[in-house]
Amino acid sequence: MENITGLLKIQVKRGIDLAVRDILSSDPYVVVSMAHQKWKTRVVKNSCNPEWKDEQTLSITDPNIPINLAVYDKDMFTADDKMGEAKIDIKPYMDVIERRLENLPTPTTIARIQPSRDNCLADESSIVWRDGKIYQDMVLGLRNVECGKVEVQLEWIHVLDSSRRL
């Protein structure tokens, strides 16, 4: 069994200006995958600006493995159409987690991540301490598609490990 560093809750909040894949709109959903873990959001009918607010918890064993997002248009009679993809590099977030910060004022911005060619960020993303938890909100620009962004939030869930005492 692999050592689990911790659990990461990812919330897929919404899509922004997603590509049209049907006549006037799309029926989008997001597939989130990391290593051997995979889940998908619900389908939002007839929307290029869907609100999902779906969340799932992923087990983190290696901070070097990115989280992959792929957006699809649900089709009734043919294969679902791909509407872009993005990767989340969790290394900057995990670096903050490893600092084991405590008792900061709410909210405190711990780090700011700038968009670059190495990440899919559409805008600056802040890692924030809020109410005893560490969050990262981000807007990801979708790749391999003409337009579209996905807004997500990461939240760390500590796993108690009796072999690693503070």
Domain parsing of the chain, residue ranges: 6-153
As assigned by CATH, the class of the 6-153 domain is mainly beta
Q: Give the DSSP H or E segment for 149.
A: strand 149-157
pLDDT at 163: 46
Q: What is the mean pLDDT of each run of 10 residues along the chain (166 residues)?
A: 84 98 94 96 98 97 95 95 97 92 92 94 96 95 98 87 44
Half-sphere exposure of 154 (CA within 13 A, CB side): 28
pLDDT at 161: 52
